[in-house]
Structure 1
């Protein structure tokens, strides 16, 4: 089984992926964690690293090629990342959404800092990623047509979302 979980920062993708991983015994591969660890290795903020990635396609390509390779060679995994649904051919593809204000509130709770600063950083990061995805892959991140399930994390908490996706997993013979 291959499951992809995608969404913008703060939407709940990592939390839901971890819960699904535990519930179904699936390994979780997170593009966001790879990106954050690379930013730390470069001793940069996410915004700074995003700027670098805008001028150096190899950063996104490394992360995304790794996800493609994993998706095509391994079973029983969850690929969690913004483009995971585009990187896997045969998978149950999920997009988790929430408004920018709710997402930034979650980011502030997770990382601390002021709401205004994190809002500005999030908007800048998303704009940077949008440009890179369009330039590198010709992917419009706002086009959700590749996803089997689009779910709003403002309406359901992480446990309810996990249950909804689990129902789809249990009743889907596609993968």
Structure 2
């Protein structure tokens, strides 16, 4: 079983991916975690590292190449990243999930996780980060991140908590592949 989980920052993709991976005993690979780790190693904020990635395409291209290789080579996997669904477009039998939430909800979640700035500052950072990413995705791959038509399931994490989302996704997954 291959599953991709995508969504904008703060939408809950990492939380839901971890729950799915645990429940179905699947390997979880998070490209967002990889991107954040590299930013930390370079002692840069996500915004700074994103700006660097805008100027140096090799950063995104290497991470995305890795995503394509991983989704092709693993049979039991959850790939979590903004572009995971797009990276799996040519791979058969991949369930592609997009988790969404309104910007203010996402910013509040990011603040709970990072606790470093005010709401307004994080709102500005998040908007800048999303603009930077959207520009890179369009420039590198001609991907409009707002076009959700490639996803099999789009779920709003403002309406349901992570456990309710897990339950909803379990019903969907089990109806496709049968219970594990």
Please classify the TM superposition score into its range, dividing by the shorter chain length: over 0.9
2:174 corresponding residue in structure 1:
170
User: Partners of 1:51 and 1:17 in 2: how far apart?
Assistant: 27
SS at match of 1:134: helix
- Residue-by-residue CA offset, 1:40-90 (whole Å, 9 max, x unaligned): 111110000000000111111111111100100111110000000001123
2:98 is matched with 95
Residues 110-149 of structure 1 mapped to structure 2, 5 A cutoff = 110-112=113-115, 113-149=117-153
Q: What SS does structure 1 have at the residue aligned with 2:144?
A: coil
Q: How does 1:9-24 map to 2 (within 5 A)?
A: 9-24=9-24
Moved over 2 A (4+): none
**Structure 2 residue aligned with 1:160:** 164
Residue 28 of structure 2 corresponds to which residue in structure 1? 28
**In structure 1, distance between residues paired with 2:57 and 2:171:** 38
Query: In structure 2, the residue corresponding to 1:69 is in which secondary structure?
Result: helix
**Could you tell which deviates more after superposition, 123-132 or 81-90?**
81-90
Query: Which residue of 2 is the match for residue 78 of structure 1?
Result: 78
* Structure 2 residue aligned with 1:52: 52
CA RMSD between the two structures: 1.0
Deviation by residue 1:127-153 (Cα, 9 ceiling, x = unmatched): 000000000000000000000000000
Q: Aligned pair count?
A: 174
Shift, 1:165, TM fit: 1.0
2:39 paired residue number: 39
* Aligned-partner Cα distance in 2 for 1:161–1:62: 31
TM-score, with length taken from structure 1: 0.97
TM-score w.r.t. structure 2 length?
Answer: 0.95
Q: Which residue of 1 aligns with 2:68?
A: 68
